[in-house]
Amino acid sequence: MMTSSNPQEPLRKTNRLDDFWMPFTANRQFKAKPRLLESAAGMYFTADDGRQILDGTAGLWCCNAGHGRREITEAVSRQIAKLDFAPTFQMGHPLPFELASRLAEIAPAGLNKVFFTNSGSESADTALKIALAYQRAIVQGTRTRLIGRELGYHGVGFGGISVGGMVNNRRAFPLQLPGVDHLPHTLDVARNAFSRGLPEFGIEKADELERLVTLHGAENIAAVIVEPMSGSAGVVLPPVGYLQRLREITRKHGILLIFDEVITGFGRVGKAFAAQRWGVTPDIITSAKGLTNGAIPMGAVLVDEKVYDAFMQGPDGIELFHGYTYSGHPVACAAALATLDIYQQEQLFERSIELESYWQDGLHSLRDQPNVIDIRSIGLVGGVQLAPNSQGVGKRGFQVFEQCYQDDLLVRVTGDTIALSPPLIVEKTQIDCLVEKLADAIRQAN
């Protein structure tokens, strides 16, 4: 209880919900009817009322190996007792070097230089800065324009929201990076509804990049950044051949291609990265979330060695004037190394592909539920899109989200799309339970 040193000053009334300004949350709505999670283990959260909540979202796309992993806890505990912090500006400690090498081993060939960050947002902004600085390093200084995509999400830094294409993330922040353009999104419910895996139609949307090259001039474009799969927009998948076409066009015009794999990295769609699952190697990959299984904030930017080598020319000195106090933080590195061990020992990347058919069968069984207008699925991720109700876009989706939570299932809602991404340790019986609870919630929504 807080007390006042001034007897005339009234005591402050404490309320543990009041002072936390929650991110991406309707704060007044939440605090009137809070949903609080107090512990977690395996596939389940425990709510403050003792209920076991099946985690259908891997926390927030990040706990790919499930919750409460002893190996990660012990690695973090040992490391924080040994070395809690060490600077990486003009100094070093062994762990980020070891972690970078481990990431290079599982990354697409050539992407073997790693810059560490603390989040997906920082990874996106770092990748954009590296792209701009690279063009200057190779004496292409006119290449300052960046190309994002509609419905894209690249975090909440000013770089990320500038190239991002989710309107609500941009509307309140009109001061954004200049010289940014956007490709059209690939969501096409009319032609691709209820696709299993990558949708058939839409490769021609990649050709819009040629139009932007004609409009702005290739000599003025530094990089294109896209999510291989747009997660935050509601599981928007790339059409067959789309990513390959983007790679062809960017390579043709000397434009760097950046894949934002903050969500798709570390087994979510199969393989270590979506780039490998879909056979397209970009110049830069951003990552975070599953890197440490969500245990400690950390991100990593994987860079092609040819891009890195361009900086390593000229006189000795700082090659890139960019970094974070906690880049390569020792405790985060320990968590990441333990996480990579789990992924390898339990073959969780492969498990995402092994369960894909069963997962798709379960999700697509919801096709005949009321108001379901599309289902999208790949690996162990899925989106169930609902028709909006008369109260407005997002109202029905939020009803389903709330009902699922009341029925002991955590899902994620984006507008009227229910997004699903269970930990990669999920069992078939838990998939069945998830689908059943979601079907009941959809039937109860109005």
- The C-alpha torsion from 328 through 332 and 337 to 339, rounded to 10°, is -140
| d(C-alpha 325, C-alpha 257), whole Å | 27
Helices (H), ranges, 376-427: 395-406
End-to-end CA distance of the chain: 44
**Beta-bridge partner residues of 258:** 225, 284
Structural domain of 248: 72-345
Whether 279 is covered by a domain: the verdict is yes
Q: What is the reported pLDDT for 314?
A: 83
Instruction: State yes or no: pLDDT of 3 exceeds 60.
Output: no
Whether 256 is covered by a domain: the verdict is yes
- The C-alpha torsion from 200 through 201 and 204 to 206, rounded to 10°, is -60
Say yes or no: 427 and 333 in one domain.
no
Whether 76 is covered by a domain: the verdict is yes
pLDDT band at 13; cut points 50, 70, 90: low
- Between CA 134 and CA 123, with CA 213 as vertex, the angle to 5 degrees is 40
Q: What is the reported pLDDT for 350?
A: 92
| d(C-alpha 340, C-alpha 443), whole Å | 40
Say yes or no: 309 and 360 in one domain.
no
Say yes or no: 85 and 121 in one domain.
yes
The tally of domains found in the chain comes to 2
The size of the chain, in residues, is 446
**pTM, entire model:** 0.95
CATH number of the domain that residue 218 is part of: 3.40.640.10
pLDDT band at 14; cut points 50, 70, 90: low
Q: What is the reported pLDDT for 15?
A: 61
Say yes or no: 324 and 395 in one domain.
no
| d(C-alpha 128, C-alpha 301), whole Å | 10
Domain end among 313, 345, 377: 345
Q: What is the mean pLDDT of residues 67-74?
A: 98
Whether 14 is covered by a domain: the verdict is no
| d(C-alpha 293, C-alpha 303), whole Å | 22
Query: What confidence tens digit (pLDDT) does each residue in 278-314 have?
Result: 999 999 999 999 999 999 999 999 999 999 999 999 8
Query: What confidence tens digit (pLDDT) does each residue in 175-231 have?
Result: 999 999 999 999 999 999 999 999 999 999 999 999 999 999 999 999 999 999 999
What SS3 state is found at 164? coil
| d(C-alpha 241, C-alpha 378), whole Å | 15
What SS3 state is found at 92? coil
Q: What is the reported pLDDT for 242?
A: 98
Query: What confidence tens digit (pLDDT) does each residue in 87-144 have?
Result: 999 999 999 999 999 999 999 999 999 999 999 999 999 999 999 999 999 999 999 9
**Cα distances (angstroms) measured from residue 138 to each of 132, 135, 250, 283, 321:** 10, 5, 16, 15, 17
